[in-house]
Structure 1
Amino acid sequence: MDGEGASGESSSSNQLENWTEEQDRVKKKLITHDDFPWKLPSSTEHSQGSETLKYVGGVDISFSKDDSSVACACLVVLELPSLRVVHNELSLIRLQVPYVLGFLAFREVPVLLQILEKMRDDHHPFYPQVVMVDGNGILHPRGEPKHKRSCKM
């Protein structure tokens, strides 16, 4: 094996170590109970200081069948309680990070965050209060943290 191959393997191993450490760091921030300040629109209970949940977003990425590095990232925002689509955004992209089993978020999340950050930075009136993301969560193969703590990300 030449030196370049060994270096590539070492770099790959370091990347997986970094990703594992980041997963472990984020797992410690897991919230297992609802502690958000909003109430659902149909809720008759209106506490002082609480806001009504009005905008819910969903994000996902779909990949080209011909080239798995080409993808379409999408954000859709619905207004509650009508479920009317008030915003949608698509971004055709070429991903540089390869798919690695157990580490999909490191491939997809940066792109999805860019769409959300652009919407936030533009002070868009329909910026979602909640964003739905497909993922395994605590069912991820690496499992949930041994010591649960409640804190926001």
Structure 2
Amino acid sequence: MSHLSQEELVKQWESEQASLRQLMVEEDTEDWQRSPDFTGLERVGGVDLSFVKGDDVNACAQLVVLSYPDLELLYEDSQMVTLTAPYIAGFLAFRETPYLLEALQRLEKTQPNLLPQVVLVDGNGLFHYREFGLACHLGVLSGLPCVGVAKNLLQVQGVTKSQQHQLQIASLQKGGDSFPLTAASGKVLGKALRSSDSSTKPVYVSTGHRISLETALRLTHTCCRYRVPEPIRQADMRSREYLRVHFPAAADT
């Protein structure tokens, strides 16, 4: 990749995103997704990358699998990785997906009975510049249902941190309340979700692959003990703990 200029790389990645976008499925494909209480869902995955402090290349790629609905840990995989692709806004997936995909493939090879039936991704899905964020990328390449859950609002396609957006957040009265993230085109790209009664700051949920937005929203809410859904929260905590143990000099203060 290094022999390409950034402009050439962007063109190549845009082309790859467009091709993969054609394979994305925005509807429910599994029986458990259509069940009011997700009957048949037993394993929910969470993925995250945590970087060594002050280093944007070396990171811990983390996969956890939790039981559902109890959200107890069934499996975890922490792997140090060195990212080779540059960071370019809107193309995060090209930096991170290979290592998250490898974690899923390791699990499928060694303990296929623990492979998650759905993966919650710390990042966006359809709510993206070109409607193909990290959760879509990982979903299409892994073949697994994926949900994007972002902690911060991506200001994209006419969705901004406007006064109206702040008023909409204030109108969320209890855990489970949400409002749509509507692009300038009129298309709903995701939803802002108040994930728990105690958390007033929403998370931003969007379809990744093989799941509808309403199902993704409902599932995310049922996975929340706190603001961030438990599979992502556990992945984040365990990757940070791994870095604290193995890189104490660079640990977060």
Deviations 1:91-144 (A, max 9, x none): 112111121111000000001111110111113431111111133222212247
Match of 1:48 in 2: none
Q: Is the 8 A contact 2:57 2:82 kept in 1?
A: yes
Question: Larger % of helix: which?
Answer: 2
Instruction: Compute the TM-score of the two structures, normalised by the length of structure 1.
Output: 0.75
Match of 1:135 in 2: 123
Higher relative contact order (CA 8 A, sep 6+): 1
* Residue 29 (structure 1) shift: 2.6
1:36-75 to 2 correspondences below 5 Å: 36-38=30-32, 42=37, 52-75=40-63
Instruction: Compute the TM-score of the two structures, normalised by the length of structure 2.
Output: 0.47
Percent of residue pairs identical = 40
Q: C-alpha separation between the residues in 1 aligned to 2:102 and 2:83?
A: 13
Q: Is the 8 A contact 1:41 1:54 kept in 2?
A: no
Match of 2:12 in 1: 18
Q: C-alpha separation between the residues in 2 aligned to 1:141 and 1:129?
A: 27
Q: Is the 8 A contact 1:56 1:131 kept in 2?
A: yes
Structure 1: runs of 5 or more not aligned: 1-6, 45-51
Structure whose alpha-carbon radius of gyration is higher: 1
Q: C-alpha separation between the residues in 1 aligned to 2:126 and 2:57?
A: 27
Q: Which amino acid aligns with 1:12?
A: Q
Structure 2: runs of 5 or more not aligned: 133-184, 186-208, 211-253
Please report the RMSD computed on the Cα atoms of aligned residues, expressed in angstroms: 2.6
* Residue 63 (structure 1) shift: 1.2
Q: Is the 8 A contact 2:32 2:38 kept in 1?
A: no
